[in-house]
Amino acid sequence: MSLAEITGFVLVGEMLMLGVATTVVVGRTGLMRAREQFRDRLFEVYPHIGLLLGVLVVNKVAREFGPELSWVIGWNITSRIYAIEGNFVGTVQSVARPELTTYFSFMYIYGYVFILVFPFVAYFALADSKPLKKAAVAFAVNYGLGLVCYILFISYGPRNLIPDVVHPLLYSTYPESQILTGQVNANTNVFPSLHTSLSVSSALLAYQTRDSYPRWTLIAIPMAASIIVATMYLGIHWATDVCAGSVLGVGSVLIADRYVSDDSPE
C-alpha cells in the first residue's frame, strides 16, 4: 500500500470516530453553540492556535535535519536507559496475544490521532474559551520541548536495541503502518514518548472539563492509558520514555494553565 492509501484509511477511520464522539459528547446543543459563536471564538483563540501551528511547522522543518544534528550535539542515552530498566518491555510483551496486539495497534495509531484532534472539536463548542486555549498551548509545549529533547538525546527503542527480547509487534503484524509512522518518527528519537505526553495532557484537560463533558472524561482517561501501554507493548518505547513523557504531559498542562490564566482579562 502507498502512503496516500494508508493515510486515506486513517482519515476515514478518524472521521467516523470524530463523528460518533461529537454526537455523543458535544451533542446538538453544543454544535448549535459552536455555529453561533464561530467567528467570535476564532478571534478569541487565534493567537493560541497560531502558536500551536507555528510550533508544528518548526517541528516539521526541524525533523528534516534533526537526526543529523543530534549526532553532532546530542547525547546517546540508549545504554543508560537499558541499564536502568533492562528487559522490562520484554516482560510487558510476555502477555502478547493477537487480540491485544490488534487493540493496542488500533490505539497507537487511531486512538492517538483521535485523542489529539477531538479536544479541539469539543472545546470549540464550549461557552468558555479557556479549555480550547489550554489545549493549544499544552500541545504546543509538548511538541516544542519534545523536539528539543529529540535533538539533545539520542535513544534507540527497545525493539532496535534488544530485538532478541523485544519484538516489533506493530510492524510485524501491520507492516504497512511503518510507512505512515516513518513520516513523523525516527529510530533515534524515542525519548521522551510524545504519544505518552500528549495523551497525558489530553486526559488531564478532559478531567478539567469533566463538568461540561463527563462522557469525554470517561473516554479520554482509559484511552490515554491504553495508548501509554501500547507504546511499550508494541516495543516502540522504553518505560523510561513513558515516565519522561508523563512528566512532560503534566508539565505542559501546568504551563498552559498558568499561561491562559495570565492571558485572561481580569
Listing DSSP states for 89-115 in one string gives HHHHHTT--HHHHHHHHHIIIIIHHHH
pLDDT at 185: 67
pLDDT at 2: 66
The mean pLDDT of the chain is 90
Name the phi and psi angles at 159, rounded to 5: -65, -25
Cell numbers standing for residue 13? 477511520
Q: CA-to-CA distance for 145 and 168, rounded, in angstroms?
A: 27
* pLDDT value for 205: 98
Burial 52-68 (b: 16+ CB within 10 A, else e): beebeeebeeebeebbe
Summarize pLDDT for 78-88 with one digit per residue, the tens. 999 999 999 99
| N- to C-terminal Cα separation, the chain | 54
pLDDT for the residue numbered 179: 67
- Rounded mean pLDDT of 101-118? 95
Confidence of residue 266 (pLDDT cuts 50, 70, 90): very low
Q: What is the predicted pLDDT for the residue at 182? A: 62
- Residue 17 burial (CB count, 10 A): 17
**What's the domain count of the chain?**
1
Tell me if residue 213 falls in helix, strand or coil: coil
The whole-number average pLDDT for the span 54-65 is: 86
Sequence-separated (6 or more) residues with CB below 8 Å from residue 180: 3, 6, 7, 10, 109
* 232-251 mean pLDDT: 96
Judge whether residue 184 has pLDDT over 70. Answer: no
Q: Is 187 helix (H, G, I), strand (E, B) or coil?
A: coil
Q: What separation in angstroms does the CA of 200 have from each of 84, 104, 177, 203, 245?
A: 23, 17, 23, 5, 8
User: Are the C-beta atoms of 42 and 122 separated by less than 8 Å?
Assistant: no
- The arithmetic mean of pLDDT across residues 239-262, rounded, is 94
pLDDT of residue 90 exceeding 60: yes
The CA distance from 73 to 51, in Å, is: 27
Q: Are 23 and 118 in contact (CB under 8 A)?
A: no
What the block records as the C-alpha cell of 194 is 510524545
> Does residue 158 register a pLDDT over 60?
yes
pTM of the model: 0.91
Residue 171 has a pLDDT of 84
Query: For 12-33, what is the mean pLDDT?
Result: 92
Query: Looking at residues 75-98, what average pLDDT do you find?
Result: 93
Question: What is the domain range of residue 28?
Answer: 3-263
- Of the pLDDT bands very low, low, confident and very high (cuts 50, 70, 90), residue 233 is very high
Q: What is the number of residues in the chain? A: 266
